[in-house]
Structures are given as structure tokens and as C-alpha cells.
Amino acid sequence: MMDILTKKQEKTKQYETLFMQIKALMSSNENRISNMANFTAAVKSSFGFFWVGFYLAESNDLVLGPFQGPVACMRIAKGKGVCGLSWSNEKSIIVGNVHEFPGHIACSPESNSEIVIPLIKDRQCIGVLDIDSKEFDCFDEIDQLWLERLCSCLTSVL
């Protein structure tokens, strides 16, 4: 069994590799949907998360953007669910057990933990990255740090 420190080191190594891949994939000449689609594919295939996708701000709602995983709800109002809250507070949110999070929007009964990262472009929150896992407590501060870095890499080309 890997101890906690080794697990964290392994995860960091995986994110370092993923970061290089995302950096290579993101192109400022490419369409934003294409960049976002490849971003979700790279994250999902690297870690095997249950669902990886974007919700993009459109007036007072978040609207489903490019994603990898099962079908998901298409519209989330500002402040609602984990995504809507992350959008309105412009802060990343880690939820260890989604069933205990007040107002959590369940797109699939198979999801047990979640992380949401706001996408900040020119000091404005233009949407969020949402990742769901079947495992409880799947995400920690290492995921938050690296996913924020990955999102900055994406928003720099949007």
C-alpha cells in the first residue's frame, strides 16, 4: 500500500506531465471550443475521473460546455449548486461528499465527490471547470493547485 506522502508525490508527478500536455495542446490560434474539448479529454484520460467538463457563463446562468462523461444538466443558475456557488464567489470549491453539500445538483447518482474551479479571464469569471469522481474525498489541495494552473493555461488562450 502506498503511504499518503507517496500518493501525493505520485499525483504531483501526474499533474506535472498533464500540465506539459495541456500546454502543448492549447493553441491561441485554435477555436475555444476545440481547446476546451481537448482540455477535458486530457484531464479525463490522465486521471480517469467520472466526469470532466465546463459550464460557461451566459447572462445569469451557467450553460453546459465541452465535457467528457455521461450526459449532464444543461443550465445552472447563478449561486446554485457547487458550480453556481463557485461562479458567484469566484473561488474553487472541494466537496468530499456531495450528498452532504446543501444545494448540490446531482447530475448522476454515481458521483460522490467534486471539485469546481472558476475560469478567470481578464479578472472576470467566464465559467467553471467541474470534475466529478465516483470516489469519496477524491480531491485535495494538490488537485486544486494544479487544476487552477491548468485553467490559467487554458484561459490565457481563450
Of residues 131 through 150, those in contact with ligand SME by CB under 6 A are 132
Mark the segment that binds ligand SME (CB under 6 A) among 31-39, 42-50, 99-107, 141-149: 99-107
Contact flag: residue 119 with ligand SME (CB under 6 A): no
Taking the complex as a whole, how short is the minimal distance between the CB of residue 144 and ligand SME, in angstroms? 16
| Cα-trace Rg, the chain | 15
Quick one: which of 65, 81, 118, 127 contacts ligand SME (CB under 6 A)?
Answer: 81
Three-state SS string across the chain, please? Answer: CCCHHHHHHHHHHHHHHHHHHHHHHCCCCCCHHHHHHHHHHHHHHHHCCCEEEEEEEECCEEEEEEEECCCCCCEEECCCHHHHHHHHHCCCEEECCHHHCCCCCCCCCCCCEEEEEEEEECCEEEEEEEEEECCCCCCCHHHHHHHHHHHHHHHCCC
How far is it, in rounded angstroms, from Cα 154 to Cα 116? Answer: 15
Mark the segment that binds ligand SME (CB under 6 A) among 22-30, 33-41, 105-113, 149-157: 105-113
Contact flag: residue 83 with ligand SME (CB under 6 A): yes
Q: Residues 98, 113: contact at Cβ < 8 Å? A: yes
Taking the complex as a whole, how short is the minimal distance between the CB of residue 107 and ligand SME, in angstroms? 4
Taking the complex as a whole, how short is the minimal distance between the CB of residue 147 and ligand SME, in angstroms? 15
Quick one: which of 42, 43, 57, 82 contacts ligand SME (CB under 6 A)?
Answer: 82
Contact flag: residue 51 with ligand SME (CB under 6 A): yes
Contact flag: residue 104 with ligand SME (CB under 6 A): yes
Q: Residues 120, 96: contact at Cβ < 8 Å? A: no
Interface positions with ligand SME (CB under 6 A): 51, 72-73, 76, 81-84, 104-105, 107, 111, 114, 130, 132
